[in-house]
Structure 1
Amino acid sequence: MLDFRPVLLVNGILLVTLAAAMVLPAAVDLAVGNPDWRVFAAAAALTLFVGAMLALSNWARADALTVRQAFVMTTTTWCLLPAFAALPLAFSDLNLSYTDAFFEAMSGITTTGSTVIVGLDYAPPGILLWRSLLQWLGGVGIIVMAVSVLPMLQVGGMQLFRMEFAERVEKALPRAAQIGAWIAIIYLLLTLLCAALYWWAGMSGFDAINHAMTTVATGGFSTYDSSVGLFGSAKIEWIATVFMILGSLPFLLYLQALRGSPGALFRDSQVRWFFGFLLTATAIMIVYLVIEKNWTIADAVRFTSFNVTSVMTGTGYATQDFGSWGAFAMPLFFLLMFIGGCAGSTTCGIKIFRFQVLYATAKVQMRRLLRPHGVFIAYYNRKPIPESVEESVMSFFFLFMMIFALLACALGLMGLDFVTATSGAATAISNVGPGLGEVIGPAGTFASLPDQAKWLLSLGMLLGRLEIFTVLILLAPSFWRG
């Protein structure tokens, strides 16, 4: 029988961490005299109590998590945290239902960026900070904390690290705790640098901190309904573009660069493919806007670079309603939603390395058709791709597209129009944020959707963030039989 004590222990520790994070928005609201500080204090007390009880009642020595325990722990963590993170949102002056609050919390922790809140310009500062903190922790931080804390508790955590980053990577350091600590430091430094540049570019200190957290996390929550477009600043948009890209690159390569291999980023084929996708899509859109829409080159470069980067990396910021850019823009942005960034980054989506594996496999298959008796091997980063990896990637593509289709059909059955249903399904499973169309596009929110649709989209966000298999495997009877 599966031993749940290590799973409950880790969940308890992470709830205690979440409770500690609630103290920050409570302090901000208290400082400005907003009564919502009591809501954060009460939610923190309840979360701390539950987390402490789970941790203390399951405090048992375990040398390592089994694979089955790691699967259960990963899924339950990403379900339990938004359930408690939603409490301040549900009981604040925003008057959100628990459905809306859970949707917002799941969107934050999974760094999706979809929102149901209207009137962010007038929302309490504690709520705004809490939304940004959820995305910042969800990006890398809260998983890194688990990876760092587990070894100290004699509970192995490398399985969770591998599930979160969705690929087997070379261990840059001998222990998961060391890897987690270094990634946390890099993540924090990037956030501080981004905040400093935002402040230099004209943002207030509060806005700079909030936007820096959601930029590096490629989450996309803003402190304003108009998102980054409110500032109307080219400086801010270019800073955001740079840090969205930095958040989309593998953090382990940053670690290797700091440890004496500065060329690691440029040698990695995944990074080169990422820039290839990004630059190609940007160039195509610039040419389209200049020729077909008579935009100036300067405006086309500025707005296209920002919005293409935002959608492809799954950040979800917007400076304009790109749905109104013409008939060609809609399908291009729709396709960009699925791509994502590099594995080992804060982005979601299909991810670049899977496209590389699929391309290499298809290329080999074409050669075999021409020369049936030839021996051809698919390569990734100059190394042969194991057959098991090829099968895994193709299985992922199949499940990803099947779940997207099911989500879109289910949303259509709930009465949503075609554009809203298909783009809503895409933005949920790819963790992008805004969809397309007038309802959930860059200029809209998800507030008007029925509650059933919000719960379904929350499930889509969870599946997309946890790479689908991590959740679906729990539905297999053989998993529980061991």
Structure 2
Amino acid sequence: MAGTFKPTQSSERRFADQGIQLSRIFFVIGMMMLVLTLFMFPPAVSDLVARNDDWHVFAVSAFVTGFLGLMLVLVSRGGWSDHVTLKEGFVLTVLSWIALCLMASIPFMFLGRDASVANALFEAVSGLTATGATVLTGLDHLPPGMLLWRSILQWIGGVGIVVMALVMLPFLRVGGMQLFRTESSDRSDKFMPRVGEVISLIAVTYLTLTFACGFAYYWAGMNAFDALNHAMTTVSTAGFSTHDRSFAHFADNKAIHWIAIVFMLGSCMPLVLYVKMVRSRSLAVWNDAQVRGFVQIAGLAVFTVTLWYYVRHDEPFLDALRVVSFNVVSIISTTGYALGDYTNWGSGIMGLFFALMFLGGCTGSTTGGLKTFRLQVMMMTASGYIRQLMSPNRIVVLNFNDTRITNEIATSVLAYVTVMFISVMVFTIALSFFNLDLITALSSATATITNVGPGLGDIVGPAGSYANLDPGAKLLLTVAMLLGRLEFFTVLVVLSRSFWR
């Protein structure tokens, strides 16, 4: 095909020697870009309905993304086969995220005063990684298409990219479970034999939760546009809002706050357990040790902070419970919504909220962070080690959900936690070179790596944004968001020299 890029025979042969066929990777990325193109039309229509001239931004972005995606599909279709190798799975995961983030950033390039490469990449990556950190200000006055695009990116990022890959790849006969294992270091419970059936049911569950959340918001008093946007960013535990004050904009509507709390908590649960509940017609979600552990931790945090807040503030107990529950659940679920500025509650509460940033929800949910499962495995491993020290001849067997915790599982959890904390330290040090104070640098690194969104302090806290940071710091945090979303090892494996030998 004249005028189009095609890998040379030498490059194809070199990558083939590594167990990687470029045509397979380009084909899947091209298909994903075509799907992303379809999501650009609703914002364009939204601007057209509002008689806003910014509709052409999404028209141009859709043309560019669709053209590049189609070229990749056409160029690579000749070398396609019905499976991907393990190495191809790693490379495909990393490159697809980078490609989609680049394409998703195009509309932000045309956003007037906030338009810049650093801002566009930051906002797009924050959306697709479901982080919720933003560099945009004046949200109340942004065109509806841009607000809807931000919410769509987060809805896709929550689970949509994984679902699209897993639905599309089995359809194209390319072994979806290989890609899923590179997307997350956790192994899924394959309770149904056909991957396509599992993913289809998960997609239906995700859509159902989104619809239910949007209907509840609308019933409680949100207008249809706000209800749609906040439903997408609540169920994806992502946190973008259509208002600068986030949920404080709805300060007079307490029902909306409680609805957000319920759906943020619900989105912390593994989506596969909802499928189990429907299929088995039982409360399978409560039989999971991870879910019980998460509820206990969240409940303890809410109870402790509520008592402290109630004693310190002259407010009715139910109001104190509502405000505290909203902010604690928002942080612990890595959603990142704000209801007031909790950084003014005192240094002790800031310390607790900083710790909650690391937790996240359950494995298999749309949340970021450490995940409750890993925390439980660490605690059980430490407890078993202590018992082994006290009784050296004792055989200690650790079980989680009636499954033995092997040395491989314990080692993988320890490796993940180690890499996470090392990454936080490295990014904190790097950010400090941009003249940021310790609280801002540390909380920014943590909030982006764990995909929480807002940090602590006046600059990046719930009452601020990342808009005033240096462009270099924004690009650094963009990398941090991607690393956190891909759970480090997918990227680290691809970057390792031994991977390419």
Deviation at 1:95, TM superposition (A): 4.1
Code of the residue aligned with 2:138 in structure 1: it is: G
**Is 1:133 the counterpart of 2:152 in the alignment?**
yes
Query: How far is the alpha carbon of 1:230 from its aligned partner?
Result: 0.3
Counterparts of 2:40 and 2:22, CA distance in 1 = 27
* CA deviation after TM superposition for structure 1 residue 68, in Å: 1.1
Runs of 4 or more off by more than 4 Å in structure 1? none
Asked whether 1:400 is paired with 2:420, we answer: yes
Is contact 2:183-2:490 (8 Å) kept?
A: no
Structure 2 match to 1:372: 392
Query: Is the Cα contact below 8 Å between 1:165 and 1:344 reproduced in 2?
Result: no
Alpha-carbon distance in 1 for matches of 2:182, 2:290: 18
Is 2:184–2:486's contact at 8 Å kept on the other side of the alignment? no
In structure 1, the residue matched to 2:119 is: 100
1:150 is aligned to 2:172 = no
Partner secondary structure for residue 142 of structure 1: helix
CA contact (8 A) 2:184 2:487 kept: no
- Equivalent of 1:351 in 348, 371, 374: 371
Deviation of 1:84 (Å) = 0.8
Q: C-alpha separation between the residues in 1 aligned to 2:322 and 2:250?
A: 14
- Identify which of 402, 405, 409 aligns with 1:382: 402
Answer yes or no: is the 8 Å Cα contact 2:216–2:259 preserved in 1: yes
Q: Structure 2 CA distance, aligned partners of 1:328 and 1:95? A: 35
Is residue 468 of structure 2 the alignment partner of residue 448 of structure 1? yes
Within-5 A mapping of 1:196-215: 196-215=215-234
Aligned-partner SS, 1:58: helix
Which one-letter code corresponds to 1:129 in the other structure? L
* Amino acid across the alignment from 1:200: W
Displacement of 1:175? 2.6
**How much has 1:73 moved relative to structure 2?**
1.0
Query: In the aligned structure 2, how far is the partner of 1:74 from the partner of 1:379?
Result: 32
Task: Pick the aligned partner of 1:241 from 255, 261, 269.
Answer: 261
Cα drift, residue 440 of structure 1: 0.5
Q: Distance in 2 between matches of 1:165 and 1:317?
A: 25
Q: CA deviation at 1:367?
A: 0.5
2:73 to 52, 55, 60: 55
Which residue, out of 178, 185, 195, partners 2:197? 178
* Separation in 1, partners of 2:242, 2:473: 25
8 Å CA contact retained: 1:318, 1:442: yes
- Structure 1 residue runs of 5 or longer lacking an equivalent are none
Alignment of 1:276 onto 2:288:
no
Deviates more, 1:150-159 or 1:433-442: 150-159
How far the C-alpha of 1:295 sits from its partner, in A, is: 4.0
Q: Deviations over 1:15-49 (max 9, x none)?
A: 10111100110111111111111110011000001
Moved more, 453-462 or 90-99: 90-99
1:230 aligns with 2:249: yes
Residue of structure 2 equivalent to 1:80? 99
Q: In the alignment, which residue of structure 2 is the partner of 1:7?
A: 25
Kept after mapping to 2: 8 A contact 1:8/1:58: yes
Give the direction of change, closer, same or farther, for the CA distance of 1:165–1:236 in structure 2 (3 Å limit): farther
Q: Calculate the TM-score normalised by the size of structure 2.
A: 0.94
Mean Cα deviation higher: 162-171 or 436-445: 162-171
1:422-473 CA-partner distances (Å, limit 9, x unpaired): 0000101000010000001001010000011111101110111111111111
Distance 1:380 1:359 in 2: 12
Q: Could you tell me whether the CA contact under 8 Å between 2:342 and 2:462 is conserved in 1?
A: yes
Q: For residues 286-338 of structure 1, what are the alpha-carbon distances to aligned partners after superposition, in whole Å with 9 as ceiling and x for unaligned?
A: 11112234443122101000000000100000011000011211101100000
1:253 equivalent in structure 2:
273
Q: Distance in 1 between matches of 2:151 and 2:462?
A: 18
Indicate conservation of the 8 Å contact 1:149/1:177, yes or no. no
Q: 1:476 to 1:165 in 2, by over 3 A?
A: closer
Partner of 1:69: 88
Deviation at 1:55, TM superposition (A): 1.6
Aligned partner letter, 2:291: V
Aligned with 1:62: secondary structure? coil
Normalised to the residue count of structure 1, the TM-score between the two structures is: 0.98
Compute the displacement of 1:419 (Å): 0.8
1:29 and 1:37 in contact (8 A); partners too: yes
Distance, in Å, in 1 between the alignment partners of 2:287 and 2:215 is: 30
Would the alpha carbon gap of residues 187 and 283 (structure 1) be closer, same or farther in structure 2, given more than 3 Å must change? same
Q: Secondary structure at the match of 1:449?
A: coil
Corresponding residue of 1:300: 320
Mean Cα displacement is larger for which, 355-364 or 120-129?
355-364
Give the AA of the match of 2:276: Q
Q: Which amino acid aligns with 1:177?
A: G
Aligned to 2:440: 420
Question: How far, CA to CA, are the matches of 1:51 and 1:173 in structure 2?
Answer: 33
Give distance in 2, aligned partners of 1:265 and 1:62: 39
Partner of 2:212: 193
Instruction: Indicate the RMSD between aligned Cα atoms, in angstroms.
Output: 1.2
State the AA in 2 paired with 1:27: V
Once the two structures are superposed, the pairs formed by residues 259-270 of structure 1 within 5 Å of their partners are 259-270=279-290
- Displacement after TM superposition at 1:165 (Å): 4.5
Post-superposition shift, 1:162?
A: 3.0
Q: How many residues align?
A: 481
Could you tell me which runs of 5 or more consecutive residues in structure 2 were left unpaired when the two chains were aligned: 1-16
Does residue 472 of structure 1 match 2:492?
A: yes
> Could you give the per-residue CA deviations for residues 116-142 of structure 1, whole angstroms, max 9, x where no partner exists?
000000000000000000000011112
**1:131–1:221 contact (8 Å) kept in structure 2:** yes
Stretch of structure 1 that moved more, 3-12 or 81-90? 3-12
Deviates more, 1:69-78 or 1:208-217: 69-78
1:118 and 1:92 mapped to 2: Cα distance?
11
Q: Distance in 2 between matches of 1:446 and 1:292?
A: 30
Q: Is the 8 A contact 1:220 1:315 kept in 2?
A: yes
Code of the aligned partner of 1:434: P
Paired position in structure 1 for 2:5: none
Give the letter for the 1:420 counterpart.
T
**Identity, % of aligned positions:** 45
Question: Displacement, 1:360?
Answer: 1.0
DSSP-derived class of the 1:395 partner: helix
SS at match of 1:372: coil
Q: Which residue of 1 aligns with 2:8?
A: none
1:123 aligned onto 2:138: no
Kindly state the Cα deviation for residue 181 of structure 1 after the two structures are TM-superposed.
1.3
**2:456 maps to what in 1?**
436
- Cα deviation digits, residues 383-411 of structure 1 (max 9, x gap): 11111111110011111000000011111
Q: Secondary structure at the match of 2:280?
A: coil
How far did residue 63 of structure 1 move? 3.0
